[in-house]
Structure 1
Amino acid sequence: MVAISKPLPELFFVKPCKPNNNNPPNFPTIPLIDLSRSDSKHLLVKACQEFGFFKVVNHGVPMKFISKLESEAIKFFSSPLSLKQKAGPPNPFGYGNKRLGQNGDFGWVEYLLLNAKLDQKNPPFSIFDENPEKILRIVKDYVTAVKKMACEILELLADELKLKPRNVFSKLLMDEQSDSVFRVNYYPPCPDLQEHETKGKKLIGFGEHTDPQIISVLRSNNTSGLEISLRDGSWMSVPPDSNSFFINVGDSLQVMTNGRFKSVKHRVVANSSKSRLSMIYFGGPPLSEKIAPLPSLMEREEASLYKEFTWFEYKKSAFNSRLSDNRLGLFEKRLEKITTP
């Protein structure tokens, strides 16, 4: 359980938005894509361009991998705080709570952050005295299956964009030096939140941000809380669906497509009565990989919107920023308008 003294500090609350009675938000439908269908390539690209976020079914990840890992994760987060703290503090990997990063971001959350290159040396596995090898195998099975699905999606996107080779994106995740991470977030119920909910306040679980990597694959239980930012600045609640996976376009993929695909800003708000568990695979490139718009994707005389940077440079910049900062802003080119006399 996340321990915070009462009353709840204001820094944990989302500032309520002013209602727009003249133009109430018309929330769209989250794109749902069946990966087994022949039209999935077109729908994937459309979703990446218009939303930067979608959910997939017939994803090929065995449900037994999902249920086993979820069961172990709940068991871990239900453990005494003294035991969980043996797996922390996160530096950067391990167990943490409340504090998100080093720059003043807080949330009503506990988490485990792991290097996707899983081995016995990862701190969380060392605290399981009974059978750490079993826990490691369960996590590996899940991460391997989700990574395969992420690569399939990236290759379908490349096919539809007519990019050669078709693994132009997925090879960055498959590289032995891929800097991918796996995160499990646990949002405990917060009974003290009830009185604030009646006033329209929401408790921050994980503050608004975009994902800096190439692609993110999210699976959560049946508790709501995930919200995405729409183009008009309003926030839309994403209905939970424990049988599907939600996919986020990352900042790096937005750059590689020269802005064609959109990295969506999202956040999680806490619940007063139910816990929420989410498991996220963040597919990242090798640290030395240069990130820039793909020349094969650029149309004639199309200007690059971004400066070239390495993943290490962008990761370092993101680590030194607040969650809500426009982290890509530092790498955008300021294109000057050319006027004729």
Structure 2
Amino acid sequence: MATTTETIPAGMKKIYLGSYEGQTYRLVSTNPPRDCTPDEIPIIDLSGIYGDLDARKAVAREILHAAKTSGFFYIENHGVPEDVTRAAHKKGLEFFKLPEEEKRKLTSNTSAYGYCGFREIQANVTESKDRKEAFMFHYEPEFDPLYENRLDQVPDHVREHLPKEDFTWTDSGDDAVLPGFKSALLSHWRACLDLSRRLIRIIALALDLPEDHFDGATTYPGGDFAVNFYPGHGDDPVEDPDEVGVGAHTDLQIMTLLWQDEHKGLQVLNSSGEWMWAPPVPGTFVVNIGDFLMRLTNDRLKSTVHRVLQHGREDRISMPLFFGKSVSCSLAGCEVIDPANDGADPVIPSFDCVFLIPKTCFQLNNDV
């Protein structure tokens, strides 16, 4: 019986990705990465989100265009104080320079949170282990400015879905492993959380929805935060040009808000299969759409494949906030949103956000 062999176009190769549907792939150019153009990943001025409705709608139109094309955009005039971000960056760098045994005080063999050592993470199981260290923590109402002084109002169904990860901060108080580490990271996280809540309201406007459409589902949001440390190579040659800082992947949640220092490493895969650098732009964050929002909008908004390559001499720090639906928000039968209003059939059936994220994680861990 004859068999057919798929032909891969010249100058292209396959990369494999994990998803909630199992393993998929993309065709990727073998050409060297190039810098993105302003049209491909635009810089959007957010000052209008603090203005009147017309000003907010103007920003919403820009975000909608970027979210439907590349799925990535920079934001400036975002309201996160520079000194708050720089303090978090400084303490993050100091933390990763600590002796290994000190960093290990903030780790657990049964959790993805806390400290993760060098090459202990693998975002894409078909690529190298990630050439980085990381410190991660999750959303907790006690650190949220909206609830820190009225924790008695947090519903039991929210509490029961929050991970019990007290070890994350056990030795990271201001008098423990690193003075000022916890307070610096939480100050930056709070500012990014506030900005994310403002952005999701702008995205609602962009989708022709009431501005508060997502408020109920993000009251106690998914708000995982990471400080990533990518060691520089110094004067040593890069031994493996295919070794990744973070393997090719898409993000799971509604959106990611990323701060990166002055050393480039982020690459975005465009619709032509080209890797593009998204180089650091002073005073900005990079925002990208996540899988959940893409599914919720009938795949109109794009959750785009990206990765990190760190082949530079200097150490690199990045700090992403993964903003999403509340971990306790069961949306069984959630209907997709059709921002084009063209009546297109849903790309996927209605779904449950509590189900989608764990299923994706299961697939990622089992696609070997």
TM-score (norm 2): 0.73
Deviation at 1:304, TM superposition (A): 1.1
In the superposition, relative to structure 1, how do residues 181 and 195 fare at CA in structure 2: closer, same or farther (>3 Å)? Answer: closer
Give secondary structure in 2 for the equivalent of 1:186. strand
Higher relative contact order (CA 8 A, sep 6+): 2
Between 132-141 and 283-292, the greater mean CA deviation after superposition: 132-141
Cα distance in 1, alignment partners of residues 366 and 308 from structure 2: 13
Cα distance in 2, alignment partners of residues 230 and 222 from structure 1: 23
Deviation digits for residues 10-65 of structure 1 (CA, Å, limit 9, x no counterpart): xxxxxx95349xxx989532210001143322111111011110000000001121
Aligned to 1:190, which of 200, 219, 233?
A: 233
Aligned to 1:126, which of 162, 167, 170?
A: 170
Cα distance in 1, alignment partners of residues 113 and 259 from structure 2: 20
Cα distance in 2, alignment partners of residues 190 and 25 from structure 1: 21
| Aligned residue in 2 for 1:142 | 188
**Residue ranges of structure 1 left out of the alignment (5+ in a row):** 1-15, 326-341
8 Å contact from structure 1 (residues 230, 236) kept in 2: yes
> Identical aligned pairs, as a percentage?
24
Kindly provide the amino acid, as one letter, of the partner of residue 330 in structure 2. Answer: E
> Are 1:106 and 2:129 matched, yes or no?
yes
> Are 1:168 and 2:189 matched, yes or no?
no
Kindly provide the amino acid, as one letter, of the partner of residue 36 in structure 1. Answer: S
In the superposition, relative to structure 1, how do residues 163 and 244 fare at CA in structure 2: closer, same or farther (>3 Å)? Answer: same
In the superposition, relative to structure 1, how do residues 140 and 191 fare at CA in structure 2: closer, same or farther (>3 Å)? Answer: closer
Deviation at 1:160, TM superposition (A): 2.9
| Aligned residue in 1 for 2:201 | 155
Give secondary structure in 1 for the equivalent of 2:222. coil
8 Å contact from structure 1 (residues 221, 276) kept in 2: yes
> Are 1:299 and 2:354 matched, yes or no?
no
| Aligned residue in 2 for 1:331 | none
| Aligned residue in 1 for 2:115 | 95
Deviation at 1:311, TM superposition (A): 2.3
8 Å contact from structure 1 (residues 219, 242) kept in 2: no
Deviation at 1:324, TM superposition (A): 12
Cα distance in 1, alignment partners of residues 247 and 254 from structure 2: 20
**Residue ranges of structure 2 left out of the alignment (5+ in a row):** 1-27, 49-54, 144-164
8 Å contact from structure 1 (residues 222, 240) kept in 2: yes
Give secondary structure in 2 for the equivalent of 1:213. coil
Aligned CA-pair RMSD? 3.0
Q: Number of aligned pairs?
A: 301
Deviation at 1:215, TM superposition (A): 0.9
Cα distance in 1, alignment partners of residues 243 and 304 from structure 2: 21
Deviation at 1:308, TM superposition (A): 2.5
Give secondary structure in 1 for the equivalent of 2:245. strand
Deviation at 1:265, TM superposition (A): 0.8
Cα distance in 2, alignment partners of residues 118 and 189 from structure 1: 36
